[in-house]
């Protein structure tokens, strides 16, 4: 029996982040292998055949057929910008960081991305990820994979896709949320542990 889809997605993203670690390794063989794998993924993405240059990293995790295009696209996007961020930030959060550096140009690019339909989304995502790479802004590929499964899936016109876009927009316009100030936090006596 196969692992649950959420677990397979997590392991796939972990493997991508392992490639990132390989690029930073002192082991020259590991660095070289990581570079080769990423180059294959980039070639597939550039040819419009996301991931076809290197199938193994995707297929070893048994992606469900309806999610395959999202997995391949994420693999190619990662190869373009192998700087993954952890945490809960969406693509909107990464674009917020870009907007702080580049101003209105990033805002226009983000607005264009939000308006893309399923066929146009991969092209605009490649452009956005290249911009993020040029400024060294990490992308949370785990969250992006979950979002793309929705945006590229059967329900791409439904409520779930609308919610993904709203979350991206909220994260873009509000930026990182910080912990409440001490005066705003509940008192220690009010919490139970």
Q: Does residue 190 form part of some domain?
A: no
Q: Does residue 70 form part of some domain?
A: yes
Q: Are 38 and 84 in contact (CB under 8 A)?
A: no
Q: Does residue 11 form part of some domain?
A: yes
Interatomic CA distance for residues 5 and 132, integer angstroms: 28
Residues 111-138 as b/e (b if ≥16 CB within 10 A, e otherwise) read eebbeeeeeebbebbbebbebbbeeebb
Question: What is the radius of gyration, based on Cα positions, of the chain?
Answer: 18
Q: What is the percent of the chain where pLDDT is above 70? A: 84
Q: Model's pTM, two decimal places?
A: 0.85
- Given this model, what pLDDT does residue 185 score? 41
Q: Does residue 182 form part of some domain?
A: no
Number of domains in the chain: 1
pLDDT for 5-18, tens place per residue?
Answer: 999 999 999 999 99
Q: Does residue 122 form part of some domain?
A: yes
Q: Does residue 183 form part of some domain?
A: no
pLDDT for 82-112, tens place per residue?
Answer: 988 776 689 999 999 999 999 999 999 999 9
Which of 16-20, 56-60, 65-69, 138-142 is the least confident region? 56-60
Tell me which range, 31-45, 82-96, 144-158, 172-186, is most confidently predicted by mean pLDDT: 144-158
CATH, residue 40: 1.10.520.40
- Given this model, what pLDDT does residue 122 score? 93
Q: Does residue 179 form part of some domain?
A: no
Q: Does residue 185 form part of some domain?
A: no
Q: Are 40 and 53 in contact (CB under 8 A)?
A: yes
- Domain range holding 159? 5-174
pLDDT for 116-171, tens place per residue?
Answer: 989 999 999 999 999 999 999 999 999 999 999 999 998 888 899 999 999 999 99
Name the token pair of 167.
């979350």
């Amino acid at each position: 029996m196969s692992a649950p889809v959420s677990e397979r997605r997590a392991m796939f993203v972990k493997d991508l982040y392992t490639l990132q670690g390989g690029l930073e390794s002192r082991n020259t063989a590991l660095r070289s292998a990581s570079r080769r794998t990423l180059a294959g993924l980039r070639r597939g993405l550039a040819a419009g055949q996301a991931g076809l240059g290197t199938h193994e990293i995707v297929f070893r995790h048994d992606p469900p057929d309806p999610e395959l295009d999202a997995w391949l696209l994420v693999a190619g996007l990662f190869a373009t910008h192998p700087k993954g961020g952890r945490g809960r930030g969406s693509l909107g959060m990464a674009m917020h960081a870009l907007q702080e550096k580049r101003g209105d140009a990033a805002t226009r690019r983000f607005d264009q991305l939000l308006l893309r339909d399923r066929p146009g989304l991969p092209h605009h995502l490649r452009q956005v990820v290249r911009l993020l790479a040029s400024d060294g802004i990490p992308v949370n590929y785990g969250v992006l994979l979950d979002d793309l499964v929705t945006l590229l899936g059967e329900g791409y016109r439904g409520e779930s896709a609308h919610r993904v876009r709203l979350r991206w927009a909220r994260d873009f316009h509000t930026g990182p949320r910080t912990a409440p100030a001490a005066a705003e936090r509940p008192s220690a006596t009010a919490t139970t542990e």
